Amino acid sequence: MNSSSAQKKGLSQNAYVLFISSAAALGGFLFGFDTAVINGTVSALQKHFGTGSVGVGLAVSLALVGSAVGAFFAGQLADRIGRVKVMMLASVAFSLSAIGSGLPVTIYDFVWWRFLGGVAVGAASVIAPAYIAEVSPAHKRGRLGSLQQLAIVVGIFVALVFDYLIADGAGGSASNGFWLDQEAWRWMFWSELPIAVLYGIIALKIPESPRYLVARAQEEAAASVLDRVGASETVDEIRATVEQARKPRLSDLRAAKRFLLPIVWVGLGLAVLQQFVGINVIFYYSSVLWQAVGFSEGDALALTVLTGAINVVTTLIAIAYVDKFGRKPLLVIGSIGMVVSLGVMAYIFGTAPMGADGTPELPGALGVIACVAANVYVFCFGFSWGPVMWVLLGEIFPNRVRGAALSVAGAAQWIANFLVTVSFPWMLESIGLGASYGLYTFWALISVFFVLRYVRETKGKALEQM
């Protein structure tokens, strides 16, 4: 093959692997969109169903229980029926959830449809990175793998933009009528449907993972995929790995004299702390938060869009520098920044005078300072704990326990997400914003010492060295 032909083939391979990786990462986009679209609907849902803070908290957060279920079982299902078919099933679940969430008769109907969407989110959170890793050439795996996290934060941002535009079109409130005399909050959920359907259609256009094909004795098809993506691995090498592999067991995680291996505890700590610093309070409840301190619903949604944009930019920063600066320095710097910014918010909300409706008032520059502090917090999380936690979970576990450890850590992350999300409305009413953010400040401070004491740097190390 002459150099011109080789160059053309290389460009074709690059374009193809980027296409199929982006198709898989569309699941990450829906992951972000589905979890963030609830933000603009919280006040309207509370008004529509006439429920209190506990009911709203459960309505928002029970989707996360579904995510834990989806994440825990998606890997096993993918080994049985294939990665692409699981993507297609997730597309169906996303679509049904989008339709049903906009047509609930009771709060219980709504919780069921959100739970179904959560199962799809959990499945997408596992399948997309697994598929991308299995189709990517080794020298491109890091960059292509980062598409998943980028897709998640872009999905969050787009959902927040849609919430804002739909509410603005309805006169500034999600409770007002929009198209076809339907309330705006219903259209916020329905806006996910076209993307969910597109996910399933594109999944039909991409090949199955070479590793799955070899495991099913479809070696000719696997060789074709490897050639199209320009992978250096051969079918023989994959076959040798598949023949040695066995289904991971939870018993593999136990230590001789301890309940779990020390490295598994580190992974659990990373997964739980990522949520206990309160980041999803910003993404699920920020519109409620800003209304609680005096902003109008329209202005609150606009601030939320700004927060989503900052999250996208900082994720790009993390992708650019995680292999240059290392994982541990980014986590430490991010944790320190979160301690300071959360501490500022806790102080402002805790010392602000209370209005007649029992919510803090932020006169003068205090509202601006609180807004800046919230976005600094998102910035610090976005270049550190947001993407880096997932990078570390993929690296720190030894090969023999990686699958089982990732399942446990992933489930722990979703459960922690659920606990933080369901507790915030109650905390907002019972102890106030100041004490709530004081608690998140405490966990951010714990995260500094946890990283310094227990997390080892993994930059530049092969997985076999873990």
Of the candidates 194, 185, 159, the one whose C-alpha atom is nearest the C-alpha of residue 33 is 159
Close Cβ partners of 4 (under 8 Å, ≥ 6 residues apart): none
177 forms bridges with which residues in the sheet? 183
CB 424 within 8 Å of CB 436: yes
Backbone dihedral angles phi then psi of residue 158, each to the nearest 5 degrees: -65, -40
Alpha carbons 180 and 148: distance in angstroms, whole number: 35
Close Cβ partners of 158 (under 8 Å, ≥ 6 residues apart): 29, 32, 33
Comparing 438 with 406, the larger pLDDT belongs to 438
Backbone dihedral angles phi then psi of residue 73, each to the nearest 5 degrees: -100, -15
CB 128 within 8 Å of CB 67: no
285 forms bridges with which residues in the sheet? none
Cβ-based neighbour number of residue 355 at 10 Å? 12
pLDDT at 272: 93
pLDDT at 267: 87
The matching CATH number, chosen from 3.40.50.1400, 3.40.50.300, 1.10.3720.10, 1.20.1250.20, for 13-206 is 1.20.1250.20
- Residues 66-113 have pLDDT tens digits of 888 887 787 778 878 888 999 999 999 999 999 999 888 788 888 899
Residues of the chain with pLDDT > 90: what percent?
19
pLDDT over 50 (residue 265): yes
pLDDT at 244: 57
pLDDT over 70 (residue 380): yes
pLDDT at 3: 55
CB 389 within 8 Å of CB 330: no
Helix (H) or strand (E) holding 465: none
pLDDT over 70 (residue 131): yes
pLDDT at 453: 92
- Residues 184-227 have pLDDT tens digits of 889 999 999 999 999 999 999 899 888 888 878 888 888 888 88
pLDDT at 6: 47
Average pLDDT score over residue span 383-399? 76
Domain ranges of the chain: 13-206, 250-466
Alpha carbons 279 and 392: distance in angstroms, whole number: 19
Residues of the chain with pLDDT > 70: what percent?
80
Close Cβ partners of 17 (under 8 Å, ≥ 6 residues apart): 135, 136, 137, 140, 144, 228, 229, 230
Same-fold call for 13-206 versus 250-466: yes
SS3 247: coil
Helix (H) or strand (E) holding 123: helix 107-135
Structure tokens of 160? Answer: 């927040």
Q: What is the pTM of this model?
A: 0.74
Locus of tokens 């993506």: 229
pLDDT at 99: 94
Structure tokens of 257? Answer: 């004299």
CATH architecture for segment(s) 250-466: Up-down Bundle (1.20)
Comparing 302 with 97, the larger pLDDT belongs to 97
